[in-house]
A and B are shown apart, each in its own frame.
Chain A
Amino acid sequence: MAIEHLYQDIILDHNRCPHNRRRLPGATHSARGQDASCGDDLLFELRVADGRVLEAAFSGDACAVTQASASLLTQWLPGRAVDEVGLGLKHFRTLLDEPDLPGNEMLGALGQLQPVGRFPARRRNALLPWRTAVKALTRGAGPAG
């Protein structure tokens, strides 16, 4: 598998110019996601009202794969019902585990991260923003920890 399969434009672009990489004033939910072994350290923040995500943002320090995944996720989340996010994570895991099968349409642009699945050492990076977002939403409103 050539290295260019991993570092496609989608990852390079979102790494260079990530969307919603900032603190989120008025965040109702937040969580910190760390991968100690590789040095990723994210703060994921969401603003939720009436069971629906209105806005999402991330900050911190992360590798290109994590950063692209976080950037795409913050674009995917607004407008989603909180209950949908867990299902989204399930589809995203399947996307990475089955790089030869078509991804679920629900994922939209996030489907372009499918090639990460062919780099087993890097799947965890693509998943970190998802796991962090779900952690934030699951444990309810409050400060990050």
Chain B
Amino acid sequence: MASVPPLDRAGPEIRDQLDVMALREQFPVLAREVHGKPLVYFDNAATVQRPLAVIEAMDDFYRRYNANVHRGVHQLSVEASEAFEQAREDVRRFLNAASEREIVFTRGTTEAINLVANSYLAPRLQPGDEILVTHMEHHANIVPWQMLCERTGAVLKVAPINQRGELLLDGLAEAISERTRLIGVVHVSNALGTVNPVAEICALAARQGIPVLVDGAQATPHEVVDVQALGCDFYCLSAHKMYGPTGIGALWTREALLEQMPPWQGGGEMINRVSFEGTSYNDIPHRFEAGTPNISGAIGLAAAIRWLEETGLERMKAHEQRLLDFATQAMSAVEGLTIIGQAADKGPVISFTLDGVHPNDLGTIIDHHGVALRTGHHCAMPVMQFFGVPATARVSFAAYNLHSEIEVFLNGLEQARQMLA
């Protein structure tokens, strides 16, 4: 079964909706073999593969118009600056933000959250104030707040989840107090797949005047995000989760909030005028982008956004949900296999354990079937602690994955079970 050709066996009606085989042609890496088997890439929640549109856009920048931005009057600098600022506009459109002035480029979601912690929240915190997160957060939406609590005497509180891996909205409401200064919530959990009711959470928080930060790293490759409709105050994304390059992401926040926030890193680009007597800072969003930015990264991110818009997020999501349903059903029939995270509303992520087989061994055995999956704690150790497991294995799907690839994976699972269980 491991040599099954990568043909989608889902039927013509599905291919009409999203031409998966044509889509796959746009991803050069999918043509390679691993350990003599066709690559089956199921580690998309860690980082997704890049289409030619992204690779070529970045290549084109370096070949034709590489220059620093906002610096020179020369033609290359003008072209690079235009492409960089166009990328900001593309992010604005993608998130339906009101203005491109509300988009700050960062290294990714992690840096965006750290920016909010240090620039927005730190000056507002008093000892005893509270920051509220959920039990299913990625470490990126826990540790920056913990560090801030250590510095300020604030307290980190945690909203509970249930055994299905769903956030308890009542529990969240109960955890809010008059000292709550910010709520941090993941849009789609990387460890469980849970899609959180972000709009409801934002409405709840807004009634009490509490700002909400949304970690959107896992949502943007699968969901149409409209920050104004969600009603959140901060939205963070990473390009490499949404078919773009590593090392770039963005923070969205309201213009009025951003105007109030002091710079958090000093350097070039973020200044207006510098002298040894004092320095005045640049306008938003440049005030938050010290140093030469990741220009090729922004161009790659913009290409990824245009690619997502052209391919159609809704069509991609429909295909991914069919893969999720097929895999969930097939895996549920495997003896000794437990799926961790069974929320009613799930992204295409399946965390699981297999009795008698440590995730690490499972990962190695399945790798020899050509299947890349993630094993470990998925940077969400509190989730592992909640479910009482040291680690899980995780498969996560992208729009280019096939039903036949899930069958290859299931064969690998069976071999692991026979060898070790």
- Nearest CB of chain B from residue A96's CB, rounded to whole Å: 15
- Nearest CB of chain A from residue B372's CB, rounded to whole Å: 12
B interface size (C-beta, 8 A): 19
A7-B376 contact, Cβ under 8 Å, with A38-B360, A39-B359, A40-B360: no
- Which residue of the partner chain, among B359, B364, B377, B381, contacts A119 with CB atoms under 8 Å? B364
Who on chain A is nearest to B384 by CB? A39
- Nearest CB of chain B from residue A25's CB, rounded to whole Å: 25
Stretch at the interface among A56-64, A77-85, A86-94, A137-145: A56-64
Are A37 and B376 in touch, CB under 8 angstroms? yes
- Which residue of the partner chain, among A1, A38, A64, contacts B376 with CB atoms under 8 Å? A38
Are A3 and B377 in touch, CB under 8 angstroms? no
A64-B361 contact, Cβ under 8 Å, with A7-B419, A12-B419: yes
Q: Is B365 interfacial (CB 8 A cutoff)?
A: yes
Measured between beta carbons, the chain B residues less than 8 angstroms from A38 are 359-360, 375-376, 391
- Nearest CB of chain A from residue B140's CB, rounded to whole Å: 15
A interface size (C-beta, 8 A): 23
Who on chain B is nearest to A124 by CB? B360
A66 to B358, CA, bound (A): 10
Q: Which of B364-421 contact A (CB under 8 A)?
A: 364-365, 368, 375-377, 381, 384, 389-391, 415, 419-420
- Which residue of the partner chain, among B358, B364, B368, B419, contacts A39 with CB atoms under 8 Å? B358
Are B358 and A64 in touch, CB under 8 angstroms? yes
A65-B361 contact, Cβ under 8 Å, with A7-B420, A37-B377, A39-B376: yes
Measured between beta carbons, the chain B residues less than 8 angstroms from A7 are 361, 365, 419-420
A140 to B384, CA, bound (A): 32
Q: Which of A34-88 contact B (CB under 8 A)?
A: 36-41, 61-66
Q: Tell me the total A-B contact number using a CB cutoff of 8 A.
A: 56
Who on chain A is nearest to B391 by CB? A39
Q: Which of B324-377 contact A (CB under 8 A)?
A: 358-361, 364-365, 368, 375-377
Measured between beta carbons, the chain A residues less than 8 angstroms from B368 are 2-3
Q: Is A15 interfacial (CB 8 A cutoff)?
A: yes
Measured between beta carbons, the chain B residues less than 8 angstroms from A121 are 364
Measured between beta carbons, the chain A residues less than 8 angstroms from B415 are 3
Among B359, B375, B420, the one with the most A-chain Cβ atoms within 10 Å of its Cβ is: B420
A100 to B103, CA, bound (A): 55
Measured between beta carbons, the chain A residues less than 8 angstroms from B375 are 38-39
Are B377 and A39 in touch, CB under 8 angstroms? yes
Are A122 and B364 in touch, CB under 8 angstroms? yes
A124 to B133, CA, bound (A): 34
Are B377 and A63 in touch, CB under 8 angstroms? no
A6-B364 contact, Cβ under 8 Å, with A12-B420, A39-B390, A41-B390: yes
Measured between beta carbons, the chain A residues less than 8 angstroms from B35 are 1
- Nearest CB of chain B from residue A75's CB, rounded to whole Å: 21
Q: Is A132 interfacial (CB 8 A cutoff)?
A: no
Measured between beta carbons, the chain B residues less than 8 angstroms from A61 are 358, 390
Measured between beta carbons, the chain A residues less than 8 angstroms from B364 are 3, 6, 119, 121-122
Q: Which of A7-47 contact B (CB under 8 A)?
A: 7, 12, 15, 36-41
- Nearest CB of chain B from residue A36's CB, rounded to whole Å: 7
- Which residue of the partner chain, among B360, B381, B384, contacts A63 with CB atoms under 8 Å? B360
Are A63 and B376 in touch, CB under 8 angstroms? no
A-B contact pairs, 28 of them (CB 8 A): A3-B364, A3-B365, A6-B364, A7-B361, A7-B420, A36-B377, A37-B376, A38-B359, A38-B360, A38-B375, A38-B376, A39-B358, A39-B375, A39-B377, A39-B389, A39-B390, A39-B391, A40-B390, A41-B390, A62-B358, A63-B359, A63-B360, A63-B361, A64-B360, A64-B420, A65-B360, A66-B360, A119-B364
Extra contacts besides A3-B364, A15-B420, A39-B358 (9): CB < 8 Å:
A7-B365, A39-B359, A39-B360, A39-B375, A39-B391, A40-B390, A63-B358, A63-B361, A122-B360
